Structure 1
Amino acid sequence: MEAKYTPTLVNIGGRRLALKTAGEGVPTVVFEMGLGIAASTYDTIAGQIAALTRVVWYDRAGLGQSDPAPIPRTIQDLVLDLHTLLQKATLPSPYVLVGHSMGGHIVRLYRERYPDEVAALVLIDASHEDQRERYLAVLPPQPNACPDLAHLRHIWESRWVDSRQNAEQIDNLANSALLRSCHNLGNLPLVVLSRGCPMRDPAKYPSGLIEAMERLWLQMQRELAQLSSQSCHLIASKSGHLIHEDEPTLIVDLVRQMVVQVREQMKR
């Protein structure tokens, strides 16, 4: 039977975040989900990792059982929330930070702000700070003849920059600017896991467009891997963007390997 994890409401200063923890040991694995995704989505994955070490996952402000926060928000606000949460809950570093999609932005900025606390990063089909500009460069400028294409261009041209149109009221333009100001990761252990299947059906769009966008995505994933001299880039060949649904065991295995690697480094 699958374990049920009841969150603890932790006051981080006038607001409460719903925190889940399991397991014991170091380093502590901390999950950051994609935009609008509640912590419960990762219950099974976190539970399997808990057999090896302590694992932490939580609902960001306004999601699940967590209290809302002033909006709009940026990843700088989310990083401060996470740092305060870990301190208030007495969950000490070192951390292996695991970020999916926009969660990749959060864990990268966390490492920039608190480098001594972070032992390793795992990026799961993580967003790239330049993705909007690169996608718009290949999207046809007059998509009216194809409704799906018109919608896709609307996403990247308008909706992506309007914080009112996403589940957490996140300012994506501010996020990209924050990431561009970050340093590289030096020799920090880093795993980049990227999707192997396209997010959209190529048949619904002009010939070659989705394939071109996926090539751009793969190039951006390679660039993320180049942030560290001690990195590994892997492809989830059976997965779209939601790798935690398509190939969850792959995430579990990679995080476990990273925990073992960090423990070996801690012995030196």
Structure 2
Amino acid sequence: MKNFIKWSKRIGLGLITLIVLLLLVGFVFERISRNDAEKINPDGSFAEVGDHRLHYFKKGNGGPTVVFETALDPGGHLQWYNIQQELPTSYTSFSYDRAGILWSDRGHNPKSGEEIAGELHLLLEKANVPKPYILVGHSFGGTLVRFFVNKYPEDVAGVILVDSQCPNDKKYLSPKLFKMVNQGLPEGFLKFANNFGLVRLVFKNMFPKNKQYQHQNAIMPALLYKSAEAVFEEQDQMRSIKKEASKIHSFGSIPLYVLTAEDQKRYDSFIKDGKLKSEMINAWTKMQKDFLILSTNSKQILVPNSGHYLNQEQPKVIENAINDMIKEIIAPQ
């Protein structure tokens, strides 16, 4: 028994030593990686927005301007990078990194829907892109778009919601499912892990591992250490942002396209219970259809072979929707 206890203590001490050593190696590796990341040249340009700079990526020079708003995502403008390469340069496409994401400074403004919309509006003014704007919002970005439309309706020519989050999803979901889908990332652990390079493993599959996304897969992991902090902060404010967004009920007659993913297997890795999965699919279908009420000039585009990230799985559908809306807007002129 004494020998067993002695060897147990030795094994335990050895494991602790190994863990400490691995954490130390991870800490050193993370600091070297962050130093190297600071040397990467930005994709686009910067503009001063209050007390900080925001990074944006612009293509084309004509009007109107298509403005992309990203999901709760450390990839920032990179989620739209490939789509922007395919859009005509006869009009302008504009993506950006929200405060704290990728190359954008965090600044001191709170992470509220109102402030994010205000920062984007000022950024567009500083970047001198042509008005009016067509807003394209994916997931959480679709919720943020509501604040922009509500605050600056005279500058908005159209809205495209890409499998958008529903800010008042609580009324569509059972308590159990609502809790499951709104639990968020394990922030405490991930903030700790971010110091040792472990967060890179959590987000390593943000983009497909093929040549088409070579650029994104080189940039996003390198700058993830700072982007992750901003994502955690946005997640902290998610409840209040959704609460305020749910009070915005109308875009008036501004043209609205609702792009909805319909792959029936898109929740397989997230929800194992068949009954809950069926409830989620039906609820999401109802939420997406109800978005049409936001505008008196709206239509829904169903995308049967895509999961939530349409911008990666079915980018052509988004490109076509943008081009169609451009034609709809300029036709009367």
Instruction: Give the 5 Å matches for 1:103-252.
Output: 103-137=141-175, 139=177, 153-156=179-182, 158-159=183-184, 167-170=231-234, 171-197=237-263, 198-201=265-268, 205-252=272-319
For structure 1, the 5+ residue unaligned runs are 140-151
**2:242 and 2:323 mapped to 1: Cα distance?**
30
**1:155 and 1:217 mapped to 2: Cα distance?**
12
Q: Please give the per-residue CA displacement for 1:33-58, whole angstroms capped at 9, x wherever unaligned.
A: 11123212211101222434111111
Q: Please give the per-residue CA displacement for 1:47-84, whole angstroms capped at 9, x wherever unaligned.
A: 22243411111111111111113476122121011011
**1:27 and 1:5 mapped to 2: Cα distance?**
25
**2:186 and 2:118 mapped to 1: Cα distance?**
22
- Measured on the aligned residues, the alpha-carbon RMSD in Å equals 2.6
May I ask how many residue pairs the two structures share in their alignment?
Answer: 250
8 Å Cα contact 1:161-1:173 kept in structure 2:
no
In the alignment, which residue of structure 2 is the partner of 1:73?
111
Q: 1:5 to 1:260 in 2, by over 3 A?
A: farther
Please say if 1:41 is aligned against 2:41: no
Partner AA of 1:125 in structure 2: D
Q: 1:189 to 1:203 in 2, by over 3 A?
A: closer
- Aligned sequence identity (%): 27
1:138 CA drift (Å): 5.4
Q: 1:204 to 1:59 in 2, by over 3 A?
A: closer
Q: TM-score, normalised by structure 1?
A: 0.85
Please say if 1:100 is aligned against 2:131: no
Q: 1:202 to 1:43 in 2, by over 3 A?
A: closer
Partner AA of 1:33 in structure 2: T
**2:271 and 2:127 mapped to 1: Cα distance?**
48
8 Å Cα contact 1:62-1:168 kept in structure 2:
no
Partner AA of 1:85 in structure 2: L
Task: Judging by fraction of residues, say which structure has more helix.
Answer: 2
**1:68 and 1:52 mapped to 2: Cα distance?**
33
Please say if 1:22 is aligned against 2:64: no
3-state DSSP class of the match of 1:167? Answer: helix
Q: 1:220 to 1:203 in 2, by over 3 A?
A: closer
3-state DSSP class of the match of 1:96? Answer: strand
